[in-house]
Amino acid sequence: MNVEQPLLKIDNLHVYYGGIHALKGISLEVYKNKIVSLIGANGAGKSTTLRTISGLVRSRTGTIKLKDNLIGDLPTHRIVEMGIAMVPEGRRIFPNLTVMENLILGCYIRKDMVQIKNDMDWIFSIFPRLKERTWQKGGTLSGGEQQMLAVGRALMSRPQLLMMDEPSLGLAPLLVKEIFQIIKKINQEGATILLIEQNARAALEISDFAYVMETGKITTSGEGKSLLFDEKVRKAYLGED
């Protein structure tokens, strides 16, 4: 049993979209410096979970705690200020702004100019291709480079928790491999990550812990690598009999 306090704790969360019961009492925990994955089919409720944590969707019942702070009723900008950043599905960079301008927007809540400069250098050490393209407009980057920019922009807020929604979506297989290597690297450098990913095998291989979602409920959970050998998970999400 883990006696450490979770960084993020969700308890009995119920979310509705109109008459649709999207999340049906889910509970989960994310511990500091860990990678936690949510896997499941389209429509299982994975993105709704992240959007609810971010304050973009409101729950009807249940609680969301970041350390000791209840954040379920806070506006999105306050949740960002408290230390949660999201890399949204589809990247959502600002296409008409430069790489540098996109990164600067990621740290709009910060005033520590020396540390911002250090963090910018850190981002460029992780993503050297972005350093080569600082004055290039975001919309002219390749899909993989835009994903790197979206991750870099989120990291510039110095989040306690980085949430990533389908980071490999639409990328070529070689770039998918690179993105997962980057996720591991930023985790090794201290980032706590909550990851949604259709590529269940790749997600489970790098995850410390994972939850399987089906139609708004968590049906299975366990250490990432152990779920790779779970018969139900293998059959449903890894394409194996």
Cα of first residue to Cα of last residue in the chain, in angstroms, is: 32
One domain for residues 123 and 164: no
One domain for residues 65 and 123: no
pLDDT reported for residue 240: 58
| DSSP assignments along 72-130, one per residue | TTS-HHHHHHHTEEEE-TT----TTSBHHHHHHHHTTT---HHHHHHHHHHHHHH-HHH
Q: What is the pLDDT of residues 95-128, one digit of tens each?
A: 999 999 999 998 888 888 898 999 999 999 989 9
Strands 192-196 and 161-165: parallel
One domain for residues 19 and 63: yes
Q: What is the pLDDT of residues 34-43, one digit of tens each?
A: 999 999 988 8
> What residues make up the domain containing 236?
1-83+159-173+190-241
d(CA 28, CA 209): 10
Mean per-residue pLDDT of the chain: 90
- Indicate the number of domains in the chain: 2
d(CA 225, CA 237): 14
Identify whether 178 is part of a domain: no
One domain for residues 165 and 146: no
